[in-house]
Amino acid sequence: MPQSFSLSSKEKKLCINIARESIKHFFDSGNYLEFCSDCVPKKLQEKKACFVTLKLNGQLKGCIGHLQSFQPLYLDIIQNSVAAAFQDPRFVQLSEEEFPLIKIEVSVLTDPTPLKYSSPKDLIKKIRQGKDGLIIKKGAYSATFLPSVWEEITNKEDFLSHLCAKAGLHPDEWTKGTTLKVERYEAIKMEEGK
């Protein structure tokens, strides 16, 4: 993560609180939470992209975000929290009964940069295990894994194979030369209760 952006423990806690309040507000009103921007710390007013991940009993319940920054971080958290709870097409939307039981994670991303590589072996060498979030693209297919996915998939080859499958490509697509476009980014991850 570039030195230019960091969050204090207080700011991290606020990010999590905004995420939870956003979902609660949407349950109560059907609308997005509104903040006066002056009430938000300067760091959260910076244009940053984030992902919001919801887990229920340790299992993924929703994960939505943006890869490119285009709006203030606090607004990105509000929108992605609601989307993760109610609009992730992979899951039944969050119920009010489940809401108190979910654990929320917010990952604030750096802007993606291209990862140039000369061969599949070179790609494996250049990936920073546990640190890099990856985006892969080939034609109309694309997918991303946040850096936190390394906690579940610790092997670089498996990481790439699962990511290819997520994109709708054959799992070994990354082994077929350099036709896969790869970008990487880092993330500041905040977890509820930590």
Contact 159, 144 (CB under 8 A): no
pLDDT at 4: 62
- Assign domain 113-187 to a CATH class: alpha beta
pTM of the model: 0.90
Assign residue 30 a region: left if phi > 0, alpha if psi is -120 to 50, beta otherwise? Answer: left
Q: Where are the domains of the chain?
A: 9-109, 113-187
Beta carbons of 160 and 117 less than 8 angstroms apart: no
Q: Class of 9-109 per CATH?
A: alpha beta
Q: Rg of the Cα trace of the chain? A: 17
Mean pLDDT by 10 residues, the chain (194 residues): 73 96 97 89 95 96 96 97 97 97 96 95 96 96 96 96 97 94 96 82
pLDDT of 37:
81
